[in-house]
Amino acid sequence: MSKSDRSKLHIAMFPWVAYGHFIPFLHLSNKLAQKGHKISFLLPKGVQPRLEYLNQFPNLIQFFPLLLPQVDGLPPGAETASVVPMNQQKYLTFSVDQTRDQVESIFKVLKPDMVFYDFWFWIPDLARQLGISPIFYSVVCSMGMWTGLNAKKLTKETTVEEAIELPPGYPSSTVRLKAEEAPALLFFAEDFGSGLSFQERMQKSKIESDALAFRTYREVEGPFLDYVAQGYGKPVLLSGPCLPESKTQQLDDKWVSWLSQFEPGSVVFCTFGSQSELQKDEFQELVLGFELCGLPFLVALKPPKGCSTVEEALPEGFKDRVKGRGLVYGDWVPQDRVPQELLLNHPNIGCFVKPLWVWINVGVSA
């Protein structure tokens, strides 16, 4: 074996079961495979067909499907957060927890050098038993990790003031929750599968890792990364955004045709991803805001709660008033078909609106 061959690693990937996690983990896999490393990617069986087109190195990146068992409370056949309401996602979490034996069997055969994971608190213990190094990888920023690092344990009795209080030494007095955002944070003090809260799962996942990795740059988050490294006493690794090359992919003709009607830099694009589910009044307030902005807009949202389509949720007369200027699309644009950066790269897109979902940052770091 040559010196070069000995320097190549075998890396397992096991992200949280949402496309907003699968895709960044796969982007990182492509970058690592580009350097010659071998990747074994664990994911629910039904997800694999939707991700294969993003695999740029099929000779080095191999998918290993997991069979998620049915558990009480989980919709039949559910494998990702995109099809499970927020208040039922603890059942999805518990279902994936039940795949530990499958994961162990795969690891025993593959013998990877390390595993990148984010939500599965039991991975560090399992990995170390098999001589595998566990690396916690956050696909979002490090700025929100104050909710886990040196923070009080969230409980149902936690007050709003306690929930938004910044811990000692936090490098910013302005990066913080507002009082009205605290209820979203406190939601994750509740059980989130296997008898642990969301905060507890994430804390255990990070504390028991060998290193913490983030999808960011030091130039963007330097002080926060130093704070995290010191607080957890672990090395911090940075991947950057790991955006893929898109030379061989093209934006779908329907989006090219629609966008071509407008001036360069004039279109507002808004997408909330696959996990958000607004109340009907929130949905209507949002789209009315885009109507009032006076600019052409493309809004991609799931139907709000209680509605089967976005069309039935639109305010009265809205569709006629914005005809030829605004489009509200009831599917996940465009991650199910093309990488999002292709749409954002279109010259007529001038503004991108996306929420920073506070709950994702509960003890973790859209």
Q: Give the chain's domains with CATH numbers.
A: 10-238 (3.40.50.2000), 253-353 (3.40.50.2000)
Helix, strand, or coil (residue 204): helix
Scanning the structure block, which residue is given the tokens 């902005």? 293
Query: Which residues make Cβ contacts (< 8 Å) with residue 316, sequence separation at least 6?
Result: none
Kind and range of the H or E element at 351?
strand 349-353
The dihedrals phi and psi of 283, each to the nearest 5 degrees, come to: -60, -50
pLDDT at 336 over 80: no
Q: What sign results for the dihedral spanned by CA atoms 213, 118, 64, 131?
A: positive
Higher-scoring residue by pLDDT: 121, 169: 121
Q: Give me 221's structure tokens.
A: 């988050």
Please state, in angstroms and rounded to a whole number, the distance separating the CA atoms of residues 106 and 135: 18
pLDDT at 149: 62
Average pLDDT, the chain: 86
**How far is 22 from 61, CA to CA, in rounded Å?**
14
Residue range 2-6: mean pLDDT, rounded: 51
11 near 116, Cβ under 8 Å? yes
Mean pLDDT lowest among 37-51, 158-172, 218-232, 313-327: 158-172
Ordered DSSP codes for 274-338: TT----HHHHHHHHHHHHHT-S-EEEE-PPPTT-SSSGGGSPTTHHHHTTTTEEEESS-TTTTTS
Q: Between the CA of residue 308 and those of 220, 303, 334, 336, what are the distances in Å?
A: 40, 6, 20, 19
Mean pLDDT along residues 268-282: 82
Q: What are the C-alpha distances in Å from 14 to residues 103, 115, 120, 219?
A: 9, 7, 8, 28
Give 118: exposed, middle or buried? Use CB within 10 Å, 0-12, 13-18, 19+: buried
Task: Reduce the DSSP state of residue 129 to 3 states and report it.
Answer: helix
Q: Per-residue pLDDT tens for 55-105?
A: 999 999 999 999 999 999 999 999 999 888 888 889 999 999 999 999 999
pLDDT at position 331, please?
63
267 versus 358: the higher-pLDDT residue is 267
Question: Would the pLDDT of 6 be above 80?
Answer: no
The answer on pLDDT for 281 being more than 70 is yes
Q: Which of 55-64, 299-308, 333-342 has the highest mean pLDDT?
A: 55-64
Residue 220 has pLDDT above 50, yes or no: yes
Which sign does the torsion angle of CA 81, 86, 88, 91 carry?
positive
**What tokens does 42 get?**
């664990």
User: N- to C-terminal Cα distance for the chain?
Assistant: 44
Neighbours of 293 (CB within 10 A): 12
Residue 359 has pLDDT above 50, yes or no: no
Q: For residue 39, name the pLDDT band (cuts at 50, 70, 90).
A: very high
1-5, 220-224, 317-321 — which is least confidently predicted? 1-5
pLDDT over threshold 90, residue 334: no
Q: What does the pLDDT average to over 33-41?
A: 97
